[in-house]
Structure formats: structure tokens, C-alpha cells
Amino acid sequence: MSRVLVSELPRSDLSLETAKKFGDVVCVFDGAYRRPGIFEPGLVDGAIGRRLEELHYDPEVDFICVVGSAIMTALLVGAIMSRWDIPCVKALFYHPGISQYVAGYIGEYDGG
């Protein structure tokens, strides 16, 4: 089953309810796993890459939800593209016009 990964939980007024229709929501950096500082050496391939492997991230089925810290989300996407050597990442974007998350891609999607 697909999962929806968030780099960190969003502020309380943002709901992930509509994201749950795409899979279980999993917080990459929660209370048990300290969020690394953005200037930490080797962050993308180190702490983020290792954490994604611990979570058994699967780029074929899992989504990255664009919510919370834009910097951490960008670093998460960069780690995925680098570690799995893929040109795009499945993502969820909040669409305010319809008040729900919609699926899309970050990167160069070839339609395959």
C-alpha cells in the first residue's frame, strides 16, 4: 500500500485528512527522530537518506506530501532523487480551490 511521507508534521491548522486517501501518513522526522539542522554536513545523503531507508521508502508507490518546512521538503526530495537515481518523485500538493491534496510529480516525469 502507498504511504504519504511528510518531512515533519505541519502546523495544527493544516489537515492531512485528504492526503490520507493516498495512503498512511508517515512523518520522516517526528519526536523519535530528531530533525537534522539544514546546514548539517552530509545531510541529504546522510541523515535523510538513512531515514528513508529505515522507512523502506519505495519511489514506485510512496508519495511525498509538500507540507511543512519547504526547506526540509526540498532536501527530502533531493535525497530521494539522488539516492534512488530517479528523475522525479511522486508528490501530493494541496489545492486550495478544492480543499484537498492532489497527486503530481516533482521533477521530470516521462509519463511512464
- Per residue in 20-78, pLDDT (tens digit) is 999 999 998 876 556 666 676 666 668 888 889 999 999 999 999 999 888 889 989 99
Question: Domain-by-domain residue ranges, the chain?
Answer: 3-107
pLDDT band at 99 (very low <50, low <70, confident <90, very high): very high
DSSP result, 40-101? -TTTIIIIIHHHHHHTT--TTT-EEE--S-HHHHHHHHHHHHHHTT-SEEEEEEEETTTTEE
pTM summary value: 0.86
Report, as an integer, the average pLDDT of 84-93.
Answer: 96
pLDDT of residue 8: 82
pLDDT of residue 1: 84
Q: Which has the higher per-residue pLDDT, 68 or 4?
A: 4
Q: pLDDT at residue 105 above 70? A: yes
Residue 24 three-state SS? strand
pLDDT band at 89 (very low <50, low <70, confident <90, very high): very high
What is the distance between the terminal CA atoms of the chain, rounded to a whole angstrom? 20
Q: Which has the higher per-residue pLDDT, 8 or 45?
A: 8
